[in-house]
């Protein structure tokens, strides 16, 4: 009973976030934000495959820690300098991927959906009172390769654990299992400019 009530509340929250905005603007946010999120996912997957061929798991870890943010920013610049694009997680390995309060609420709701065995939407649009929007594209852990760095810490290669500890001493980013919510790509659209 409680699970059904929570799912109903989550669906009301998500539908309310979309309903606050004008349809055309939400559709534009979904279209552009969806393209950006898809491009980021495709680019990161491609670059990780290349890193794996070049130097195995260590090269993949190095790409994630040192180069992936540059690729995300390059994609953002193609779509407009006024946009903000980032990855966020409830357990971020990199502190730059820590969510803001509003982002944390959406991630918690998405995580609840995953734990309730519900299907995740490809994207969710969050509308703010100032006319700004955020599009969230959930990231789930579906690859065995991803678990080699994000799975149970005891099962991760000690060289990889040591490398990440040198970059991120908090030691987060471990303990994920297949199907878990790892985080989300967030594309933030600024509020409309006021007429002068």
Q: Taking the CB of residue 53, how many other CB atoms lie within 10 A of it?
A: 10
User: What are the distances in angstroms from CA 30 to CA 18, 164, 193?
Assistant: 11, 34, 20
CB neighbours of residue 171 within 10 Å = 11
**Which token pair is 87?**
């990855």
SS3 content of the chain, % helix, strand, coil (to 5): 60, 15, 30
Per-residue model confidence as pLDDT tens for the chain (196 residues): 555 545 444 554 444 444 333 333 789 999 999 999 999 999 999 999 999 999 999 999 999 999 999 999 999 999 888 899 999 999 999 999 999 999 999 999 999 999 999 999 999 999 999 989 999 999 999 888 888 899 999 999 999 999 999 999 888 899 999 999 999 999 999 988 775 4
CA–CA gap between residue 43 and residue 32 (Å, rounded): 16
Q: Give the HSE-up count for residue 37: Cα atoms under 13 Å, Cβ half-sphere.
A: 24
DSSP per position, 109-166: HHHHHHHTTPPPPS-EEEE-TTS-EEEEEEEE---HHHHHHHS-GGGS-HHHHHHHHH
CB 38 within 8 A of CB 75: no
């Amino acid at each position: 009973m409680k699970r059904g009530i929570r799912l109903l509340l989550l669906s009301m929250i998500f539908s309310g976030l979309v309903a606050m905005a004008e349809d055309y603007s939400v559709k534009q946010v979904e279209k552009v934000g969806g393209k950006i999120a898809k491009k980021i996912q495709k680019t990161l997957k491609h670059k990780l495959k290349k890193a794996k061929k070049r130097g195995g798991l260590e090269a993949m870890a190095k790409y994630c820690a040192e180069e992936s943010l540059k690729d995300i920013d390059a994609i953002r610049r193609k779509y407009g300098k006024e946009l903000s694009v980032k990855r966020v997680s409830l357990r971020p390995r990199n502190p730059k991927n820590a969510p803001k309060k509003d982002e944390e609420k959406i991630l918690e709701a998405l995580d609840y959906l995953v734990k309730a065995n519900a299907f995740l939407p490809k994207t969710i649009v969050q509308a703010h009172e100032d006319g700004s929007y955020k599009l969230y594209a959930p990231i789930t852990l579906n690859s065995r390769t991803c678990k080699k760095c994000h799975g149970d810490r005891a099962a991760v290669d000690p060289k990889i654990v040591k490398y990440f500890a040198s970059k991120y001493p908090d030691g987060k980013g471990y303990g994920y299992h297949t199907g878990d919510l790892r985080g989300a790509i967030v594309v933030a659209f600024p509020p409309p400019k006021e007429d002068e």
